[in-house]
């Protein structure tokens, strides 16, 4: 079994693959101060609940945007499961990720995995929309090349900034306000947050289409992708396992 791990700033998503089948998936809080012993205990508990042990793990692949946690997962992979951890970067992705049209050598590991999976599953061209701590977009052109992307504050990040800087505004749920304006404070905030994010996404995607010169499929992933999809007219697919799928594909490529 393969353990695929997507370590984000806020949440860590773990998947267990048997071949190309995702058998188990968990979403836990990212803890940058966690020790290797604490992580081993957490993993042991998750594995036990799913009915298997660390000895069933035959490989570990990790994408992380947190440098300290890259070292932590490397240590736990080696000490707990006895495997060298494959850490994702452009070199690891090899021929699966064409960065020939992208001038920078610095690309986030999660963005690489998203682009690899989107190109393989949905073809080229394609735009990936990842709803996380940041709202990320990855652009793949008709030739299958990674062209760049967009990084903006995520929905929950924007909400927290609003709540913390406006003392009289209450926290609200991500719900459809069903109107272009609100009839109370909560509804007014939902219009701004929910419809505002949806319109921002659609506006950015349409700018991408204009620059490419053609339309593309738009694949939404991330923890809030299902919640936000109804408010984004340009989204054509939702795939919450997209990053894990990209990690699996890169790991298999390396084998």
DSSP string, 42-107: HHHHHHHHHT--GGG--EEEEEES-HHHHHHHHHHHHHHS----EE--HHHHGGGSB-TT---S--
> Does residue 110 carry a catalytic annotation?
yes
- Please state the φ and ψ torsions of residue 110, each to the nearest 5 degrees: -65, -35
Which residue out of 37, 56, 98, 110 is catalytically annotated?
A: 110
- Please state the φ and ψ torsions of residue 53, each to the nearest 5 degrees: -125, 175
Q: 219, 231, 237: which is closest to 176 by C-alpha?
A: 231
Do you find a cis peptide bond into 125, omega within 30 degrees of 0?
A: yes
Q: Which are the catalytic amino acids?
A: 110
């Amino acid at each position: 079994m393969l353990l695929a791990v997507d370590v984000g700033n806020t949440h860590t998503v773990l998947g267990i693959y048997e071949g190309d089948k995702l058998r188990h998936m968990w979403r836990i809080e990212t803890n940058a101060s966690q020790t290797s012993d604490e992580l081993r205990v957490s993993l042991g508990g998750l594995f036990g609940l799913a009915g298997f042990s660390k000895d069933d793990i035959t490989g570990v692949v990790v994408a992380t945007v947190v440098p300290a946690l890259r070292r932590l997962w490397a240590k736990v992979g080696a000490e707990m499961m006895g495997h060298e951890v494959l850490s994702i970067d452009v070199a690891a992705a090899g021929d699966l990720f064409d960065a020939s049209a992208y001038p920078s050598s610095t690309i986030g590991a999660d963005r690489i995995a998203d682009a690899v999976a989107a190109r393989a599953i949905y073809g080229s061209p394609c735009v990936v929309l990842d709803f996380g701590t940041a709202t990320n977009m990855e652009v793949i052109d008709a030739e299958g090349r990674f062209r760049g992307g967009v990084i903006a504050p995520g929905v929950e990040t924007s909400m927290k900034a609003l709540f913390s800087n406006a003392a009289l505004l209450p926290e609200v749920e991500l719900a459809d306000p069903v109107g272009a304006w609100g009839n109370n404070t909560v509804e007014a905030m939902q219009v701004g947050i929910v419809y505002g994010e949806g319109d921002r996404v659609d506006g950015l995607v349409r700018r991408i289409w204009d620059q490419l010169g053609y339309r593309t499929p738009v694949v939404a992933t991330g923890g809030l992708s299902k919640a936000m999809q109804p408010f984004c007219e340009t989204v054509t697919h939702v795939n919450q396992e997209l990053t894990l799928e990209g990690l699996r594909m890169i790991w298999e490529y390396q084998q």
